[in-house]
Structures are given as structure tokens and as C-alpha cells.
Amino acid sequence: MRALITGCEGFLGANLARELIKQGHEVTGTSLNRQGKTSLEALGVDCRIEYGDVTDAQFVERVISTSEPDWVFHLAAVSIVRVANTSPGRTMNVNIQGTVNILDACKFFGVSKVLTASSDKAYGDHNGAPYVEDMPLKPTGAYEVSKACADMIGQFYNAIVLRCANIYGCGDLNWSRLIPNSCRLALNGESPRIYGGAVNAKREWMHVSDAVSAYIHLAKTGLPGAYNVGTGEQASPLEVAEMITGITGTKMPGLVEKEREFYEIPEQVLNCDKMHGLGWQSKYSIANGLLETVEWYREYLQ
């Protein structure tokens, strides 16, 4: 199969490209621009990259028409919550209009399967109840609102929409995220830093290999609609940081950064019965996933 991945130089995109190439598929990627090290480089992945903005409809149409993909994985987005809340206009343009451009072009050129990235955060706060696909979306901040809109747009265009838990693992070079930065600090003998407003918030965590396997499984077997993708295993940022320092043997006095200026959902967990019904299961526990992740950063940072 021929696959197009938007946001291909990013963390999830690079891991997805690596696995698709390993399975014998032809991969083309898009990226906004090349700035410093990319996850593709970190993972040693070589594929064709077209540079441009998904908010540019002409660029999107050109890439889809020339690459002639069977599958399109739309991952390009403003994906950092803090950045999204700082620049809501840019976030809405990229995450919403960019999604419209991709789906419009895919429809015009007859792409057989389109998969778009939503987020478990699109659900908002449901008082700790496990998220089920038919629950209403109740987003709050700019990131959540943009992903909820893109989610509904994806379903309008009959795309496959993935609502994934927090993804972590090998190749993530965004040091503003909890796990990459905690690994980097702990391996240097320093304590992880956690935002005060999120210390005890319950989150569901998923290794990137599980996310990649879900995307490919749905590309092969999925029908249009929304799918929760997760592990059912929760941990707070503090617990995750403690697991990382336990693996590295670093002392952790419990450093806490200033309170975040935006709302944090207190508890999130996904009901993945729909995915399980398609024969997909996550393989990584958070303990095994973090162990592999720390070892990857240990080698990469050396």
C-alpha cells in the first residue's frame, strides 16, 4: 500500500512511518518545516518528505495528487496543550482548517482510507467515568476544542477517527512533555519537574508502539467512525515521574513547577471495547513501556 502521513517528522508520525516501511508499505510524509533534530532522524527512518502547511489547500492537493495514497494518516496538528492555549487562533486554523483541507482533498482524489488523530481530551470532564465513543464531547481549552471540532469534521467526512490516550515512548524529542523531560533529567541525576495543577491528575498512558499498531489495524480493518485507543491503565504525572526515577535510580525530592494557568481534567480513562471487538489489544504495560523508553533515551542522549 501507499501511505501518506501528515506531521511525519513528529513523534507519532515517525514511529508510524517506521512500522509501515518495515511492513513493506511505501510512505510519503509531510512536515511544516525542518527545524533541528526530528523524530524521523532519531529513529533512523528514511522516507520522502514534502514540506508545507496543511492549512495551504493547494499544497495539500498537490501532495495527495502526486503521492496517490491508499491510506492517509492525518497527524499534523498543534499538539502541545500549553502552546495551543497560548495561540488559540493558530491552533484552530491548523487543527480544524488543516483537517478540512486534508479530508476535502482525500474525497476529491478518492483516497480509500483516511485516519485522523483526535484525543481523549476531546471528551472533557465526565467525573471520572470511562469514556465511551457515544459520550458527548465537552471540551474546555483551545486544544480540546480544536480536537473535538476536528473529530466531528472527520466523522462528517466518513474518516476513521482515533481518540488516543497520552502517548509516550521512543523518539519523542519534545522536551516540554513530562516523560521525555523526566527521562532526560533523571538520566542526568536530576529530579523531574511536574506542573502543580497536574501532579495528582489521573491519566491513561499508552506506549507509541501500541498507538502505531492501532492505526495500522484500523487502516486494514476499520470502518468510518470514532475509536477509543488506550490501555485502561492510569497513573498520575507524579507516579509516572516516580517510576522513571525508580528505573534510573535517581533521588526524587518532589520538585513541583508553578501551577498551570489552564484547567486540568482530574481523571481520564478510555473504554476500548470497540477496538477490542476488532481484535486489537494493547501490549505494553506502563511499567514495561517506561523501562523500554528510559533505555532508549539513555542510548540516544549518550
Query: By the 8 A CB rule, do 28 and 98 touch?
Result: no
Chain centroid to Cα 109, Å, comes to 26
- CA 95 to CA 117: how far, in whole Å? 10
Active site residue 227: no
| SS3 label, residue 281 | coil
Burial (CB count within 10 angstroms: exposed 0-12, middle 13-18, buried 19+), residue 45: buried
Please provide residue 232's backbone torsions phi and psi, each rounded to the nearest 5 degrees: 80, 0
Q: Which of 204, 205, 202 is nearest to 265 (CA)?
A: 202
Catalytic pick from 123, 131, 143, 215? 143
Pairing of strands 203-207, 234-235: antiparallel
- CA 21 to CA 15: how far, in whole Å? 10
Amino acid at 18: R
Burial (CB count within 10 angstroms: exposed 0-12, middle 13-18, buried 19+), residue 113: buried
Angle at 215 between CA 213 and CA 218, to 5 degrees: 105
Q: What 8-state DSSP symbol labels residue 270?
A: B
- CA 289 to CA 179: how far, in whole Å? 11
Catalytic (active-site) positions: 143
